[in-house]
Structure 1
Amino acid sequence: MPHIALNNDLPGITGLMVHRPDTGGPLGDLADALLRAPSSLEPGERELIAAYVSRLNGTEFCASSHGAFAAAQLTGGRELVRDVLADPGTAPVSGRLRALLAVAAEVQSAARPVSDKTIAAARAEGVDDTDLHDTVLIAAAFCMYNRYVSGLATELPEDDAYYQHAARRIVADGYRAGIVEGD
């Protein structure tokens, strides 16, 4: 049961954002900027980074949501996402994406600089400044989103089909649309 009374029965961050559109709107805008705006990283790759950080943080709603959003946009779909969330070191992804997931994991683990060794490994895989910037910002933002969702003890959807429905909506319309529509 959530720690606060919500004016809706929506799960996870969706319920929080609909409950408080004054804060939910900017959070949705930030998610759109991080995960959907033009970038050197594909939207599915950015969603996968968000799902991975959420899994590391133990926030099931966000890991499942962003995993579904990544699966809807990446070749390899659910199987690829499952493999990455289980072990990015052996998952069938490019060396570049594997290196960015390692950067994201270091950002998730502590508020300190990413190690020179991890940065050098990423650079060796062709990662540029924009890739690093975007990955670090996604990982840091998802630590905040995860703490918001987990800290208020939001509920999980009753049916896992929720995640596929949400994936279709997010891929088509973005994050801000769900706040207005409430689904």
Structure 2
Amino acid sequence: MVLDSTFSTERRACRFSRILIDGGSSINILYRDAMEKLCIKEKQLQPSRTVFHGILPGLSCSPIRKIKIDVLFGDKDHFRRELIWFEVVDLESSYHTLLGRPALAKFTAVPHYAYLKMKILGPKGIIVISGDYQKSVACAAASSRLAESLVIAEEKRLLDRVVAMACKQPDMSPNPQERL
């Protein structure tokens, strides 16, 4: 599910339109391009010891570092704001950020994936955030293409390594008797 949200730092606030809501993820991710849009400098980031899997198919990934950012859902008259920890990654993505279980728990959010809606309790009652089906499909397709190209690039790199190793091996006779 892809939703809109406002992110706020000491220097800047930005409204992001491609926030992936993923109740299956155990971390929150901020991609480098979103970090730059928020005018966050690397010196503002804190160390992180997290290693995670599943963002790139078959590969593990370590974040650059982590940061705490204000995330707001709702409008100027009725909103909810929470400070959320994000692992900052230097990866390409069709999304600005990924909000996983830690953020959903902090907001006590109830995502309804079939209806592309998320409900959270605000100061004046329930806030309903609606997603956009076409945006969700477009982001998913772009992510799929990106993941496929990354897997192909990794497979090509491994194949090149095998070919280079094979070229370094001395020629071997097909006859096992001659090898001794």
TM-score, length of structure 2 as denominator length:
0.25
TM-score, length of structure 1 as denominator length:
0.25
More relative contact order in 1 or in 2 (CA 8 Å, sep 6+)? Answer: 1
More strand, by proportion: 2
Larger Rg: 2
